Amino acid sequence: MATPVKVYGPPLSTAVSRVLACLIEKDVPFQVLPVNMAKAEHKKPDYLKIQPFGQVPAFQDDSITLFESRAISRYICDKYASQGNRGLYGTNPLQKASIDQWLEAESQSFNPPSSVLVFQLAFAPRMKIKQDEKLIKQNEAKLAKVLDVYDKRLGESRYLAGDEFSLADLSHLPNSGYLVDETDKGELFESRKNVERWWAEISGRESWTKVVEMRKSPTQK
């Protein structure tokens, strides 16, 4: 049996869970290696050798180590193209271009406001950090504008990059999951009928429910 790939970091992290959902979609055996962020293990010299920015996740497959969750996910799709969900990153240049376009939209337009909201509303209270109301308001308004664009797009096609679920949709799961399940901002999704339909479809995927389950395990935090 092939050696499992290694993912360093807790499934509670949005970026780690993006990679885990991708591995599960692609049926790639993996091992999650704990990085104790409370003890700043992600800033220690040994860890910085594989993730020089001191963040999670880091990833290892045979002799290659990678960081950046979206780059890792693209690698997994290309390296394991013939197994699991084969269309996850498209099967021709046209599909790939559309998936890349929406992956960029996720990373450049959706992620900035949504990650601020996730930190402020879901993580800051757990970490006993004071919330910044002004920042929350500003980023809610930014995210609303992004979701207006998504709502229009999702009125034209079932998923962001076309009629099939793809890496572009998957990449939205981690931040959206926290916003809908653990904050009072789920209304941003529910008030837009196409976004609401899309969210119900993508969040119900077996790969994502498995990642959410992994977060509940005390050894995986």
Ligand X SMILES: N[C@@H](CCC(=O)N[C@@H](CS)C(=O)NCC(=O)O)C(=O)O
Residues of the shown chain interacting with ligand X in the complex, contacts defined by CB under 6 A: 13-15, 42, 54-57, 68-70
211 contacts 17 by C-beta, under 8 angstroms: yes
Tokens matching residue 7: 């993912």
- Other C-beta atoms lying within 10 Å of the C-beta of residue 83: 10
What's the closest the beta carbon of residue 47 comes to ligand X, in angstroms? 10
Residue placing its CB nearer to ligand X in the complex, 118 or 154: 118
What's the closest the beta carbon of residue 6 comes to ligand X, in angstroms? 15
Residue placing its CB nearer to ligand X in the complex, 56 or 146: 56
What's the closest the beta carbon of residue 103 comes to ligand X, in angstroms? 11
Say how many CA atoms lie within 13 Å of 133 toward its Cβ.
0
Residue placing its CB nearer to ligand X in the complex, 17 or 162: 17
Residue placing its CB nearer to ligand X in the complex, 14 or 120: 14
Tokens matching residue 181: 């399940």
Pairing of strands 30-33, 64-67: unpaired
DSSP letter assigned to residue 11: T
What's the closest the beta carbon of residue 33 comes to ligand X, in angstroms? 14
What's the closest the beta carbon of residue 116 comes to ligand X, in angstroms? 12
- Report the length, in residues, of the chain: 221
Residue placing its CB nearer to ligand X in the complex, 42 or 185: 42
Distance CA 118, CA 185 (A): 10
Residue nearest to ligand X (CB): 55
Tokens 């376009």 belong to residue: 101
